[in-house]
Amino acid sequence: MTDKKKHITVETLWQIDRVGGLSLSPDGAQAVCSVASFSMEDNKGRSGLWLLSTFGGGPRRLTNCGEKDGQAAWSPTGERIAFVAKREQQGKADDTPQLYVIAPDGGEARRISDFAPGIEAFQWLPDGKRIAFAAWVWPDAEGTKAQAKRHADFKARKETGYATSEAQYRYWDHHLPMDRVVHLHLLEVATGRITDLFEGTAYELPRAEPGASHFDISPDGRHIVFTHDPLPQKRLDNPKALAEVQVRSGKIETFAIDKAWDFDAPRYSPDGSQVAFTAANVGKTHTAPGHLALQPRGGRWQLLSDTWDHSVDGPLRWSNDGETIYLTAEDRGRRHLYRYAIESRIATIAVTGGWVHGFDVAGEVVATCADSMDHPVRVHAQRDGQEPLRIERFNDDLLAKYQLGEHEEVTLKGALGEPVQMWVIYPPGFDRKRASKGTSKKKLPVMHSIHGGPHAAAADTFHYRWNTHAFAAQGYVVGCVNYHGSSGFGHAFLDSITHRWGELELQDVEAGTDWLLAQPWADKKRVFATGGSYGGFMVAWMNGHSKPGRYNAYICHAGCFDWTAMFSDDAYTWHAKELGAWYWDDAAKIASQSPNSFVKAMQTPTLVIHGALDYRVPDQQGLAYYNTLKAKGVDARLLWFPDENHWILKPRNSKLWYGEFFGWLKKYEGR
């Protein structure tokens, strides 16, 4: 490794092209993907579409004019690619996202929709003449003209208040469009004519991030199966059902419903005789894994993967012969693409992670977008019996200038005497083999990066917001513990923390600290813990439970501090399921899992970071924690963003975030 190579920084992270939204042509010969690039100087990003050959060769830019071109999908004949964008065309600027089509051999994109409420997601019908799309609409306004008037009236209003009687009224970082619901529509590509398939009914798609995986179109184009919440009062945790609408008549019938099961991600088989979907037994536990399920037309649904201790993620894709279903699932800090054989009920890995973020299947070709801890997302294509072929090189020249540290995964004896995984990331150029023998006098500070969730994982992935190599490049050995409650280690491991948050996780993180400090290269006087979301909860919890002085300082990003006050979040209907009671029924049980109950013991300096647009962990949580530490006389610093959500998404704000992060650690390195 040459000394001339640089170490990765926050500026490097924002120079990386970020690849997503992969779609294969019907013959599998080409793929289209979106590529987002960012400017630190302009403090914004833009995304365009690129065309890739699955046989190899250089990528070709397909769109240039838009700023946020995305969700590209090939027409069934392969002659056009549709995508969602906000553009200006023929003197008219889009007020909301619209549908565009472009030929794969280039030329100008053409707007094909003029729907005032805007387009959320779409799929082509098999005839290539129509498109089904999802959009937020006023359910009492009939026809596109009525929708356009309501949209214009809403834009022109002078009031800013949001009034609602809904239980679910905001999600993540935005309020759901007031008085609107998500309907499926049919667009005739040639004429632009739009028909609302749900008009006059109570049906709607899920309100939280409605997307193309919530519906699917039968191979003959006559039916559309979709996910919906069947209960009158819509809630984020309600079990979802499946229904089917006849495209021609508009008649809607229930397809699969069970009050104890949550159904999602429906996908017709190639012959249309059955539908695959995910099914989770939420009547048994709210943490229930998603299983692969199958329902033949006119028959009863059945589980396929219930003996496989993995949680199945949507979307799903069928093989051409209808004998196999492609799906992604987590496994020990990685996310693979699997082939699930229906007859034998055996899952085999089709593409190994890292972390498979997206995939598509066409004929004998499987294409994937996947990253790992050592590289950002790359695109590969694989044909039957052949090795995966890399079909782009977007970031190779940039990253060739940088040296990343080595990493490894170790196994700890954690809570309940069970094995726990921890990733360890070393600074660039650090000779860990020599250091492990004790022949090096250099001692390195250690830092926990505690993942959120809690039912997520510290994964073999290249994380732009919490990049472990950027942390390690500052000289820290970084530990990432997959504590009890983490996903990808079986359901029993994931569910073990239910109704006792903080208890087992702390034992696991402390076991990670013990492992790190037992290494001959570890500086026992420079020990830190940082975390975001549930990881932020964990460092606040540690401040009230770990022995003072064990950690020099903490960093709490978007962390939960007070579970009673957390009832202002967008996921409040889950609280009793997670914590074991409503706060008004058993205040003591809630308090026993809440960091603010242990404030008297808190002595460790903490940097608190929060965004005002965070509705998953509202910013009053961070402000209350910061104010509490200041009132107690504990050194604390606050970094608050008025324009960020649970994540930091703007380049300049990210640079500030990393600067404050490292500045706080450096301040307490000599303590």
Distance (Å, whole) CA 546 – CA 554: 12
Joined together, the tokens standing for residue 588 give 């003591």
> Which is nearest to 59 in space by CA: 32, 97, 86, 96?
32
pLDDT at 600: 97
Sequence ranges of the domains in the chain? 405-667
pLDDT at 2: 47
Burial of 648 (C-beta count, 10 Å sphere; 0-12/13-18/19+): buried
pLDDT at 483: 98
pLDDT at 671: 59
Query: What would the pLDDT profile of 358-397 be if each residue is shown by its tens digit?
Result: 999 999 999 999 999 999 999 999 998 789 999 999 999 9
pLDDT at 431: 84
Distance (Å, whole) CA 449 – CA 446: 10
Distance (Å, whole) CA 96 – CA 113: 11
* Run of H or E including 543: helix 534-545
DSSP state letter for 103: E
Query: What would the pLDDT profile of 580-614 be if each residue is shown by its tens digit?
Result: 999 999 999 999 999 999 999 999 999 999 999 99
pLDDT-derived band at 1 (thresholds 50, 70, 90) equals very low
Residue type at 276 in one-letter notation: A
Query: What integer is the mean pLDDT of 413-438?
Result: 90
CATH node for 405-667: 3.40.50.1820
Residue with tokens 């419903």: 257
Contact 622, 608 (CB under 8 A): yes
pLDDT at 298: 85
Query: What would the pLDDT profile of 269-325 be if each residue is shown by its tens digit?
Result: 999 999 999 999 999 999 999 999 999 988 999 999 999 999 999 999 999 999 999
Which residue(s) pair with 135 in the sheet?
183
Distance (Å, whole) CA 622 – CA 562: 10
Contact 482, 564 (CB under 8 A): no
Q: Is the pLDDT of residue 175 over 70?
A: yes
**CA dist 105 → 51, 64, 83, 101 (Å):** 9, 14, 15, 12
pLDDT-derived band at 231 (thresholds 50, 70, 90) equals very high
3-state secondary structure (DSSP) of residue 533: coil
Contact 389, 62 (CB under 8 A): no
* Run of H or E including 565: none
Phi, psi dihedral angles at 416 (to 5 degrees): 60, 15
Q: Is the pLDDT of residue 558 over 50?
A: yes
Handedness of CA 132, 141, 230, 249 (dihedral sign): negative
pLDDT at 276: 98
Higher pLDDT, 404 or 88: 404
Largest CA distance in the chain: 78
Query: What would the pLDDT profile of 17-57 be if each residue is shown by its tens digit?
Result: 999 999 999 999 999 999 999 999 999 999 999 999 999 98
Q: Is the pLDDT of residue 80 over 50?
A: yes
Contact 497, 485 (CB under 8 A): yes
Distance (Å, whole) CA 88 – CA 166: 35
pLDDT at 243: 98
Strands, sheet with 262-268, edge to edge from the N-terminal-most edge strand: 262-268, 274-280, 291-296, 302-303
Distance (Å, whole) CA 262 – CA 260: 7
**CA dist 521 → 428, 431, 528, 549 (Å):** 15, 10, 16, 20
Strands 324-331, 98-103: pairing is unpaired
Distance (Å, whole) CA 13 – CA 17: 9
How confident is the prediction for the chain on average, in pLDDT?
Answer: 96
| Cis upstream peptide for 388 (omega within 30°) | no
Q: Is the pLDDT of residue 89 over 90?
A: no
Contact 338, 317 (CB under 8 A): no
